[in-house]
């Protein structure tokens, strides 16, 4: 298997690659990054094969507060147009959707904690063949994206209809967080504890940590997805 050059975009210090970094290091791929909370210098498109876009508390529409969002969406669109494999998680998925012309807006409710999602359009993508029809995964979001034109809707949940999509079999947006590790969860809880207010789809820190064992199986599903993308 050829060595891949993987670049990732990180929006806040506490939302990094999670378990994806373990997969990348184990495979011996080359990893580079842009930390947008420090600078917004994007690499030339010819310098990477994959682009991974991580989460963050801001919205894709917050350009006045985060001026780099406009440039970031342009960069993501250029990566897609140039045939890169692109994977976005949470805000990353919303940014992909926006780059592809879909609407992203604040949802009527937050979804934070361990909640089930359902796979739909099961026959449409072999990349997700190993995901069960229904499984519990980690969420931390309050925005929702429309499914972009010509993309396939892959996942849904009770709280959030649009949980994932795939575009041209090489561009993936996941609203949920299969990459979280126990350390990652603790950092998110520490940084975002003010959001853990009682609501139908918001769990307490104690409830979240009580189910931390679910992280490993979600990580394993993500590893298999990355393996399949590696074969493209």
What is the model's pLDDT at position 123? 65
Predicted structure pTM score: 0.97
Compute the average pLDDT of residues 118-134. Answer: 85
Share of the chain above pLDDT 90, in %: 96
pLDDT, mean over the chain? 96
| 221: exposed, middle or buried (Cβ count in 10 Å: 0-12, 13-18, 19+) | middle
Give tens-digit pLDDT for 176-213: 999 999 999 999 999 999 999 989 999 999 999 999 99
pLDDT tens for each residue of 148-170: 999 999 999 999 999 999 999 99
d(CA 86, CA 108): 28
Render pLDDT for 42-79 as a digit per residue (tens, 0 to 9).
Answer: 999 999 999 999 999 999 999 999 999 999 999 999 99
Query: What per-residue confidence (pLDDT) applies to 159?
Result: 97
Q: How many CA atoms lie within 13 A of 114 on its CB side?
A: 18
Q: How far is residue 69's CA from residue 95's CA, in Å, rounded to a whole number? A: 9
Residue spans per domain, the chain: 5-230
CATH of domain 5-230: 3.40.50.880
pLDDT category of residue 1 using cuts at 50, 70 and 90: confident
Given a cut of 90, whether residue 124 has pLDDT beyond it is no
Q: Provide the pLDDT for residue 170.
A: 97
Q: Give the model confidence (pLDDT) of 95-108 as tens digits.
A: 999 999 999 999 99
At residue 227, the pLDDT reads 97
pLDDT at res. 126? 85
Q: What tens digit of pLDDT does each residue of 4-41 get? A: 999 999 999 999 999 999 999 999 999 999 999 999 99
Query: Alpha carbon of 187 to those of 13, 163, 180, 181, 192: distances in Å?
Result: 10, 23, 10, 10, 8
How far is residue 52's CA from residue 39's CA, in Å, rounded to a whole number?
A: 17
CA atoms within 13 A on the CB side of 35: 7
- Over 90: is that where the pLDDT of 125 sits? no
């Amino acid at each position: 298997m050829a060595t891949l050059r993987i670049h990732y975009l990180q929006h806040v210090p506490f939302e990094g690659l999670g378990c994806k970094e373990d997969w990348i290091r184990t495979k011996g791929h080359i990893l580079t990054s842009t930390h947008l909370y420090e600078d917004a210098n994007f690499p030339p498109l010819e310098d990477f094969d994959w682009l991974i876009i991580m989460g963050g508390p801001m919205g894709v529409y917050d350009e006045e507060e985060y001026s780099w969002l406009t440039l970031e969406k342009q960069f993501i669109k250029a990566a897609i147009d140039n045939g890169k494999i692109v994977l976005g998680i949470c805000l990353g998925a919303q940014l992909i959707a926006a780059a592809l012309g879909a609407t992203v807006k604040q949802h009527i409710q937050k979804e934070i904690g361990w909640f089930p999602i359902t796979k739909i359009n099961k026959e449409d993508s072999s990349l997700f063949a190993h995901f069960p029809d229904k499984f519990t995964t980690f969420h931390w979001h309050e925005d929702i994206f429309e499914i972009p034109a010509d993309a396939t809707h892959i996942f849904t949940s009770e709280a959030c209809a649009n949980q994932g999509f795939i575009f041209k079999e090489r561009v993936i947006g996941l609203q949920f967080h299969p990459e979280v590790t126990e350390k990652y969860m603790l950092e998110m809880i520490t940084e975002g504890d003010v959001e853990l207010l009682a609501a139908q789809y918001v769990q307490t820190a104690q409830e979240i940590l009580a189910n931390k064992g679910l992280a490993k199986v979600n990580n394993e599903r993500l590893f298999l997805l990355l393996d399949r993308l590696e074969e493209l």
